[in-house]
Amino acid sequence: MSAETKAQASSPQPEYAHRARLFGLSVDPNELASTEKIYLDRLMSLLTLYHDPLKKMVGTKKEILKEDELRRVFNIIPLLVQYHTKLHTDLKAATTAERPKAATAHVLVKHAPYLRMYKDYVTNVKGALDFVTTCKSKKFKEFVSTQEKEAG
């Protein structure tokens, strides 16, 4: 047994580390932080390319979607961005901790209750997709096409 393994075995393990072992959590903290960043960037792209420009047009002559339609399509994505920004920050910090895996397990346990917001997202995503795919608005279709070209 290495000196590091002996030190870890003799030091008290936080409860979250014990739970992580019980559930077989064996992740590379850097990989998890990196994957979270990729997901966060995709959520932010949805806001930057579609939500934010559409929201700026609400109530103007250029309006493409009404406020209620915008909420229907984007639902809680702005809240998800806030949540995942904090999660990513915490995961990134965990990678530099003395015990990165234990710190990562702690971050996941701490953030787990917030994942309940995905229930609302999943409940509403079909309606949002139906709206987007069946929307007859020429302005909306042109907007989506332009934004897709801009995104590359």
| pTM metric for this prediction | 0.78
Q: For 47-88, how does the pLDDT look when each residue is reduced to its tens digit (9 = 90+)? A: 999 999 999 999 999 999 999 999 999 999 999 999 999 999
Note the pLDDT of residue 4.
46
* Residue whose C-alpha is closest to residue 56's, from 145, 143, 125, 114: 143
Whether pLDDT at 24 is above 80: no
Neighbours of 91 (CB within 10 A): 24
Cα distance between residue 114 and residue 60, in whole Å: 35
pLDDT band per the 50, 70, 90 thresholds, residue 21: low
* Residue whose C-alpha is closest to residue 113's, from 149, 86, 142: 86
